[in-house]
Amino acid sequence: MARLELTNIKKSFGDTAVLHDISLDVSDGEFVSLVGQSGCGKSTLLRIIAGLETPDSGDILLDGKSVLNSAPKNRNIAMVFQDYALYPHMSVGENMAMPLVMARLPLYARLPGMRRVTPVGRRAQPQIRAEVEKVASQLRIDHLLDRKPAQLSGGQRQRVALGRSLVRNPQVFLMDEPLSNLDAKLRVQVRAEITELHDTSGLTFIYVTHDQVEAMTMSDRVALLQTGHLLQVGQPNALYADPANLDVARFIGSPEINIAAGERLADGVKLGDVTLPVGVDGTGPVQVGIRPEAISVSNAAGLAALEQPVKGPALSFTKRMIEDLGPEVLIHGHFTHAPDGLVRIRAQKSGVYGETGALSRAKTLQVMLNPEQLLFFDAEGQRLSAKALAATTTTTTAGAA
Amino acid sequence: MADIAAPAPNWLDRLRPKSIGRLVTTILLFLGAWVMVFPFIWMISSSLKPTDEVYDSDFSIIPKTFKGWDNYYGVIFEQPYLIFLMNSMIVCLGILLIQLVTAIPAAYALAKLKFRGSTILFGTVIAAITIPINVTSIPLYIGLVRVGLLDTYFAMMFPFIVSVFAIFLFRQFFRGFPDSIIQAARVDGFSEIEIILRLILPSAVPAIAAFSVFSFVAHWNDLYWPLIVVQSQDKMTATLSMMQYQSAFDTDYGRTYASATVVTAPMVIAFLFARRLFIRGITMTGVKG
């Protein structure tokens, strides 16, 4: 249980700066994900927290005390690695016992074979075994204690790695892409187990992933890194609905946010031949970010209407392909006025979907944008504030369209 | 039924070359094998002959006068052959042990630790591989004379206790060891020595075995250095003992060859028992001994 503070962490490898001035506060018992594309510095940051790398400048505080100069083992931090990093020549039980052996026995008593011979070793052994067995049964791997890592499946190895980190009762639990070597089905299961582990243990978790879905579903807060910069830190929903810039908006959300070129006018934002009733600061070109579910298609196509149907200007949309995801469909295509920009629409199916076949027959659809869900960015990708304009404007523009 | 009636000697059938290309390959391989094996045949054949017949112009593999008993009896019973074997054993094992103790930590440091000057240090190691023993043997000899350690086991082992080749070989091998396991060990509280002992060493068994074979064979066969530093018979290695039948005036070739056969025998027997290990040792170290 610990509060972790990172202040102004900087790190370069040779001439390449990997981390630029990262500051992050993680409160006690919080689950924070570090997310970003590979090479963004998230794993380096995690290794700095663990003490495996030294930052060029900045400080790491654990419960207010700097741990910058302590060795990894003295930080009481546990770490789970992407490839699990189990000790290949030791049994599962030995793997899990190692952190305790290292912490409790003097050097001479923990050399290979000496644990059974020395009095200290023999005294400590039953306690260590009991603790390993307790954690093993918690993780349901107690029947595997005598096996070697090579004899285990990926999911089992994952659990052993978790167990090895848990036995030592760490203050902070670090995980470096622990799910990326698992198959898709197992990943969902282990994801739930890790969340549960966090809830029951109450430990501070820092979780590194490149998969925004993992970050969004598991964490209390998400920290998004890009090329060594911390772009935004916030609750998963805040990052999705209220991104600070275009990079965040692009990274969070699957399928990716649609970007369309618009023009800021006095009475709203012009997109193709419609004018959206939204007031955005400034004038001139603007990038409009449209989440796939911010677009609605008329229910004539066999799709369910949105709960609050959008009344507004309709845009012409050219359909290219439909992906059927079961309860919903993903429609790929582009706005008819801008053939270069790929646009994806996510829509719920209605009861009549497939019976009418209207959607598969249609080449062009009339779609409506929900102005409240749109995000606006300037040419550099910085977010622009927007507010809905009066409803009267809506009707007039609708009429004009 | 036709199958059963087919020509009976199917072992001959199997030997029949499948194509001209195969035939040529087989002949070439056979010639190659002959070049390799012939010296041994010659050695054994000569060890059964009296000296005057060894370099006789009328050469034959089968000795005309059989002096095998005399030659072998002389080598095995008229000199302390077991002492020579033991000396060879002590020197080879001693060298190997110290080489492993010095090379493994050095190789680990060069492979996995980041420190200032590690590249230069590794470059120096590589450069040191190119220095032959002959270059350093005179200063080493003079040094050993000065400290009065000539004619000791120490003198026989001293030049070989640090093997740059072993450092290089293990360094290459250790580089393949996953960094994440080492990092996990550091987080778990392993000291660097424990990382070597508990994690690196068990995984390096193939490399260690390979190098052991290489080192052992090389020092078993070494004649040059023992010849320089050993003076008394009770410190002679098996290989060196062959030289006893040579003098300025007369060389007993029959016995020398018998001695060579007896000295080679332990290695050949060891090879037969651990053929796979030997082959791996030679292919992995990339050096033919």
* pLDDT tens profile A225-239: 999 999 999 999 999
- For residues B269 and B217, membership in a common domain is answered with yes
Whether B199 and chain A come into contact, CB under 8 Å, resolves to yes
Question: What's the pLDDT score for residue A395?
Answer: 39
Q: Say whether residue A130 is in contact with chain B using an 8 A CB cutoff.
A: no
B60 and B176 assigned to the same domain: no
In this structure, are B181 and B57 located in the same domain? no
A229 & A288 share domain:
no
Q: Are residues B34 and B167 in the same domain?
A: no
Average the pLDDT over each of A15-19, A356-360, B94-98, B153-157 and give the range with the smallest value.
A356-360
Contact B189 A78 (CB under 8 A): no
What CATH number has the domain bearing residue A129? 3.40.50.300
User: Taking the CB of residue A259, how many other CB atoms lie within 10 A of it?
Assistant: 19
> By CB neighbour count within 10 A (0-12 exposed, 13-18 middle, 19+ buried), where does B70 fall?
middle
Q: Which of B178, B181, B186 sits opposite A72 (nearest CB)?
A: B186
Q: Does A159 touch chain B (CB under 8 A)?
A: no
- Tell me how crowded residue B248 is: count the other CB atoms within 10 A of its CB: 5
Structural domain range at position B19: 2-74
Do residue B190 and residue A98 have CB atoms under 8 angstroms apart? Answer: yes
With an 8 Å Cβ cutoff, are A99 and B203 in contact? no
Going from the C-alpha of A116 to that of each of A111, A167, A317, B201, the distances in angstroms are 10, 21, 75, 21
Distance from CA of A120 to the nearest CA of B (A): 18
Domain ends where: A246, A274, A304? Answer: A246
Q: How many residues does chain B have?
A: 289
CB–CB contact A85 B202 (8 Å): no
Residue A113, chain B, CB below 8 Å: the answer is: no
- Kindly state whether residues B52 and B171 are assigned to the same domain: no
Q: Are A147 and A264 within one domain? A: no
CA nearest to A74 within chain B: B189
Helix, strand, or coil (residue A363): coil
Range of the domain at A283: 255-400
Q: Please tell me whether residues A236 and A274 are part of one structural domain.
A: no
Interface test with B, best of A46, A79, A180 (most B CBs within 10 A): A79
Residue of B nearest to A97 (CA): B188
Which has the closest alpha carbon to B151: B70, B226, B208, B43? Answer: B226
Whether residues B103 and B207 fall in one domain:
yes
CATH number, domain with residue A320: 2.40.50.140
Last residue of a domain, one of A221, A246, A271: A246
CB spacing of A71 vs B186 below 8 angstroms: yes
Same domain flag for A339 and A202: no
In whole numbers, what is the pLDDT of chain A averaged over residues? 87
Task: Read off the tokens for A3.
Answer: 């509060």
Q: Does A72 touch chain B (CB under 8 A)?
A: yes
pLDDT digits (tens, 9 = 90+) for A251-303: 998 889 999 999 998 888 888 888 888 888 888 899 999 999 888 887 666 67
Domain boundary among B74, B102, B130: B74
Q: Smallest CA–CA separation between A355 and chain B, in Å?
A: 55
Q: Are residue A299 and residue A201 in the same domain, yes or no?
A: no
**Count of CB pairs separated by less than 8 Å, A with B:** 65
Whether residues B102 and B200 share a domain: the answer is: yes
The tokens describing A231, both together, are: 């772009």
Same domain, A135 and A202: yes
Contact: B187, A98; criterion CB under 8 Å? no
> What total number of domains does chain B contain?
2
A-chain CB neighbours of B181 within 8 Å are: 85-88
* Chain A residue with Cα closest to B178: A85
Q: How far is A36 from chain B (nearest CA, A)?
A: 20
pLDDT at B282: 67
ipTM of the modeled complex: 0.81
| B132 and B214 share one domain | yes
Is A103 part of the contact surface with chain B (CB cutoff 8 Å)?
yes
CA A60 distance to own-chain centroid: 23
Are both A231 and A265 inside the same structural domain? Answer: no
Question: Does residue B53 sit in the same domain as residue B160?
Answer: no
Do A82 and A195 sit in the same domain of this protein? yes
The reply to whether A52 touches chain B by the CB within 8 Å rule is yes
With a cut of 60, say whether residue A207 has pLDDT above it. Answer: yes
Tell me the C-alpha distance between A155 and B145, whole Å: 65
Chain B hits for A88, CB-CB cut-off 8 Å, are 181, 202-203
pLDDT tens per residue, range A31-52? 999 999 988 999 999 999 999 9
Q: What is the pLDDT of residue A399?
A: 35
| Partner-chain residue, chosen from B187, B191, B199, that has the shortest CB–CB distance to A87 | B199
Which CATH number does the domain housing residue B199 bear? Answer: 1.10.3720.10
Report the C-alpha gap between A235 and B65 in whole angstroms. 98
| Nearest beta carbon to residue B186 from set A52, A87, A112 | A52
Please, is B251 exposed, middle or buried when counting C-beta atoms within 10 Å of its C-beta (0-12, 13-18, 19+)?
A: middle
Are residues A260 and A177 part of one domain? no
Q: Using an 8 Å CB-CB cutoff, list chain B residues near A83.
A: 178, 180
User: Does residue A50 belong to the interface with chain B, where contact is any CB pair within 8 Å?
Assistant: yes
In a shared domain, residues A104 and A131? yes
pLDDT tens, residue order, chain B (289 aa)? 445 555 556 777 777 777 888 889 999 999 999 999 999 998 999 888 888 887 877 777 888 888 888 888 888 888 888 899 899 999 999 999 999 999 999 999 999 998 899 999 999 988 988 888 888 999 999 999 999 999 999 999 999 999 999 999 999 889 989 999 999 999 999 999 999 999 999 888 888 988 888 899 899 989 889 999 998 888 899 888 888 877 767 778 888 888 889 888 888 888 888 887 777 766 766 554 4
Indicate if the alpha-carbon torsion angle A85, A90, A93, A95 is positive or negative: negative
Which pLDDT score is estimated for B276?
79
Measured between beta carbons, the chain A residues lying within 8 angstroms of B184 are 79, 81, 85, 87, 164
Q: Burial level of A314, CB count in 10 A (0-12/13-18/19+)?
A: middle
Whether residues B163 and B203 fall in one domain: yes
Domain boundary among B41, B58, B74: B74
B178 with A86: Cβ contact below 8 A:
no
Please check whether residues A370 and A327 belong to one and the same domain.
yes
pLDDT of residue A401: 32
**Paired residues of A221 in beta bridges:** A32
**CB A271 within 8 Å of CB A288:** yes
Q: Looking at the structure, do residues A242 and A314 belong to the same domain, yes or no?
A: no
Does A392 score more than 60 pLDDT?
A: no
Q: How many Cβ atoms are within 10 Å of B111's Cβ, its own excluded?
A: 19
Average pLDDT, stretch A332-347? Answer: 89
Name B174's Cβ contacts closer than 8 Å, sequence gap at least 6. B107, B108, B111, B112, B200, B204
Confidence of residue A160 (pLDDT cuts 50, 70, 90): very high
Predicted pLDDT at A99: 92
Residues B84 and B151 placed together within one structural domain of the fold: yes
Q: Among the three residues B26, B59, B74, which one is the final residue of a domain in this structure?
A: B74
CA distance B134 to B128: 13
Structure tokens at B149: 């350690």
Instruction: Name which of B180, B188, B190, B191 to mutate to probe chain A: the one with the most chain A Cβ atoms within 10 A of its Cβ.
Output: B188
Tell me how many domains chain A contains. 2
B115 lies within 8 A of chain A by CB: no
